């Protein structure tokens, strides 16, 4: 997401029009990327549960199965977007020229899905082992690569064949390759890798492979539902105006960057809940989830205060266009109403998945984001003419609904008489 932030800021300061291309190219790839990441979430859950159950030596086999699975998913996702993304964009009623400008960006970003998904599979495994910091270093190092390439390529002074949003897409592609290489070095160079079975061929274990996929199916559908709904807001913005697309791109980018804070806390909560669940410790499950809930609330509240005080400066950082700045500043201020709820819902969902309660988060996200947010987004933003602020109001309502349902389910599930059986 920091890569997306850099892309949007550098491209937006280069051209508001190119920012619209970048946003529309990013939106469908974000849907496919997060959906694919959901498919891989079983790697982290099963690794955490195995560690909690005293079976750390089995985690190398989980990684090897997961990496193979990630390769197939990545190739399929890239091919789907590369060949179908452009025709779809040209047939959804976007304003003149937007589809033509966004299609090359979409195709470049689709290729970058291959290294990022394989790298993420390795990252999930490292996080389940408590090695989040080395992975974080790899991510930020690849972000430095992305920043340098953006600053060099986007203005068009480097002699590179393309500039603007397309050049930014190539910067993302190269930086994601760098990320994959660094994750490979971290895993293969870890002193515990051999003991954990990383270098040994994974034994054929169809039930284990099926369990990993099953966890991923629920998470994937959940992520798909949420990101599809958010991406649809970009389409609605395209139906409003070119300025609305640029403004919404900034709001979505800021919201996505902020979302990384609770998503990180969701990862930590999921790992600790998964270990406690694997060890058959209901009290530990409740303690880990309570810490995740509290930290998420406090940190997102602090972020809301910062955004509310600096909304004008944030808008100015993304674009020089006065009309887009004003529209964006107002929408960012309103967005502070959903940051906390959006954070709590992702932490709650991960606390449930870590206990192998896979499908309730999926149904909750389907109801909140597809059945509620998308119709409200069109109604408020397009039909009622509220513009980008109308899109934000729909997110506020959906996020509050999702957070309430998910944490209500968690409280029910962790009551002594309803406690889920320990996962093997």
What confidence tens digit (pLDDT) does each residue in 342-389 have? 999 999 999 998 888 888 998 998 999 999 999 999 999 999 989 999
Please give the Cα distance from 344 to 232 (Å, whole number): 22
Structure tokens at 110: 């689709």
pLDDT tens digits for range 110-142: 999 999 999 999 999 999 999 989 999 999 999
The DSSP result for 71-98, as a single string, is HHHHHHHHHHHHHHHHHHHTTTTPPTTH
Average pLDDT, rounded, for the chain:
89
Burial 46-63 (b: 16+ CB within 10 A, else e): bbbbbbbbeebebbbbbb
Give me the residues of the chain with pLDDT under 50, please: 419-424
Cα distances (Å, whole numbers) of residue 199 to 19, 71, 194: 44, 18, 6
CB 180 within 8 A of CB 220: no
pLDDT value at position 238? 83
- Output the CA–CA distances (angstroms, integers) from residue 249 to 7, 8, 239, 327, 337, in the order listed: 11, 8, 14, 11, 18
Predicted pLDDT at 417: 53
Task: Return the closest-CA partner of residue 60 out of 175, 208, 267.
Answer: 208
**CA-to-CA distance for 41 and 213, rounded, in angstroms?**
9
- What pLDDT score does 423 carry? 43
Largest pairwise CA distance in the chain? 67
Query: What does pTM read for this prediction?
Result: 0.74
Q: Which residues lie closer than 8 Å to 278 by C-beta, 6 or more apart?
A: 48, 49, 50, 51, 52, 53, 422, 423
What pLDDT does residue 95 have? Answer: 67
Backbone phi, psi, residue 70, to 5°? -65, -40
Round to whole Å and give the CA distance between 165 and 100: 12
């Amino acid at each position: 997401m920091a890569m997306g932030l850099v892309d949007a800021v550098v491209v937006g300061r280069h051209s508001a029009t190119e920012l619209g291309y970048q946003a529309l190219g990013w939106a469908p790839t974000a849907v496919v990327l997060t959906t694919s990441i959901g498919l891989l979430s079983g790697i982290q859950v099963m690794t955490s549960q195995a560690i909690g159950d005293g079976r750390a030596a089995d985690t190398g086999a989980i990684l090897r199965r997961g990496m193979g699975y990630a390769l197939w998913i990545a190739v399929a996702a890239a091919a789907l977007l590369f060949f179908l993304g452009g025709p779809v964009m040209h047939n959804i009623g976007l304003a003149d020229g937007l589809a033509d400008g966004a299609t090359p960006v979409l195709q470049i970003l689709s290729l970058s899905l291959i290294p990022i998904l394989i790298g993420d599979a390795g990252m999930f495994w490292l996080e389940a082992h408590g090695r989040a910091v080395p992975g974080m270093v790899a991510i930020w190092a690849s972000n430095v690569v992305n920043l340098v390439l953006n600053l060099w390529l986007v203005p068009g002074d480097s002699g590179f064949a393309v500039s603007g949003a397309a050049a930014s897409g190539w910067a993302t592609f190269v930086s994601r390759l760098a990320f994959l290489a660094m994750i490979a070095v971290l895993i293969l160079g870890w002193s515990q890798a051999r003991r954990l079975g990383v270098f040994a061929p994974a034994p054929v274990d169809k039930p284990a492979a099926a369990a990993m996929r099953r966890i991923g199916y629920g998470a994937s559908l959940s992520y798909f539902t949420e990101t599809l709904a958010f991406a649809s807001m970009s389409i609605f913005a395209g139906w409003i105006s070119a300025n609305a697309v640029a403004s919404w791109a900034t709001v979505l980018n800021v919201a996505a960057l902020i979302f990384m804070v609770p998503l990180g806390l969701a990862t930590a909560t999921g790992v600790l809940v998964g270990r406690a669940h694997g060890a058959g410790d209901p009290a530990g499950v409740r303690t880990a989830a309570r810490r995740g809930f509290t930290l998420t609330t406090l940190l997102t509240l602090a972020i809301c205060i910062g955004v509310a005080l600096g909304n004008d400066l944030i808008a100015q950082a993304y674009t020089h266009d006065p009309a887009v700045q004003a529209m964006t500043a107002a929408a960012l201020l309103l967005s502070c109403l959903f940051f906390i709820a959006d954070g709590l819902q992702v932490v709650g969902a991960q606390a449930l998945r870590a206990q192998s309660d896979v499908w309730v988060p999926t149904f909750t996200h389907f109801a909140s984001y597809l059945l509620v947010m998308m119709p409200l987004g069109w109604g408020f933003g397009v039909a009622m003419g509220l513009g980008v602020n109308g899109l934000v109001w729909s997110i506020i309502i959906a996020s509050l609904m999702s957070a309430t349902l998910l944490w209500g389910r968690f409280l029910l599930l962790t009551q002594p008489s309803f406690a889920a059986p320990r996962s093997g």
